[in-house]
Amino acid sequence: MTDTADYEWPTCVACSRELRHDELGRIACRLCQRRTDENLQALAGDTGLYATLQDALQPGRAGDDGRVSGSRTAPLPLRLEPLSLSARGGVVTVLQTWLADWHELLGWRHPRWEGGLQQQLDQVVKALRVNLEWAASSHPAFAEFSAEVASLTRACRAQTTGERPERRITVACPCGGTLRITISTPGARCPGCGAQYGRADVLELPLAERRMAA
């Protein structure tokens, strides 16, 4: 049927796969709906990705040598990504914006947000999941929605599980040497002077100048 010149078999807006017979009339295929539902589900709850971000926001939490972070150098900007995801304007706000859009399309009154950010996250995820069947069937922008949910989930996961390689930064040893480290490094040895740094110590080293970065 696809080779009929004047007729194109309908495809899923999200993955471009041809819709199955029992999916005809829908905006997106059921696979894309399920994938999006799984992503939403992964974000919510006490052990969800969003809650786990809070842990990622606390530097040195994994260090157990009892050292308190000093203030002799400016804090490393390691935490910006988890922060921008978990703060207002991050995951919660993006999802709330979509829910408000759905309410508008459905002719419902604007949704209300209650409680702290985690509570709001759980609420908005629940509401989106309840209405996901409608959205995947009828919402013209479902492709954008599912892509955005996927990228939020991916970003949170990258921050919380190290599923993707962690961002590396370059810090400077007093000897002038530089060390490439990640936030979860257990420690590192300076290739310049051979000094061995524990986790807490290496995270206190100042960021190297950009020109020194590898």
Residues forming the site for Zn ion (CB under 5 A): 12, 14-15, 29, 32, 173, 175, 177, 190, 192-193, 195
Does residue 15 contact residue 31 with C-beta atoms inside 8 Å? yes
**Residue 22 CB, nearest approach to Zn ion (Å):** 14
Residue 166 or 201 having the CB closest to Zn ion: 201
Residue 32 or 202 having the CB closest to Zn ion: 32
Does residue 156 contact residue 84 with C-beta atoms inside 8 Å? no
Residue 26 or 123 having the CB closest to Zn ion: 26
**Residue 164 CB, nearest approach to Zn ion (Å):** 24
**Residue 66 CB, nearest approach to Zn ion (Å):** 24
**Residue 49 CB, nearest approach to Zn ion (Å):** 23
d(C-alpha 198, C-alpha 69), whole Å: 13
Residue 190 or 208 having the CB closest to Zn ion: 190
Query: Who's near 119: CB < 8 A, 6+ residues apart?
Result: none
DSSP structure string for 98-111: HHHHHHHHHTPPPP
Residue 121 or 169 having the CB closest to Zn ion: 169
Residue 43 main-chain phi, psi, to 5 deg: -75, -30
In degrees, to the nearest 5, what angle opens at C-alpha 203 toward C-alphas 168 and 84? 60
Q: What is the dihedral of CA 16, 18, 24, 27, to 10 degrees?
A: 0
**Residue 169 CB, nearest approach to Zn ion (Å):** 16
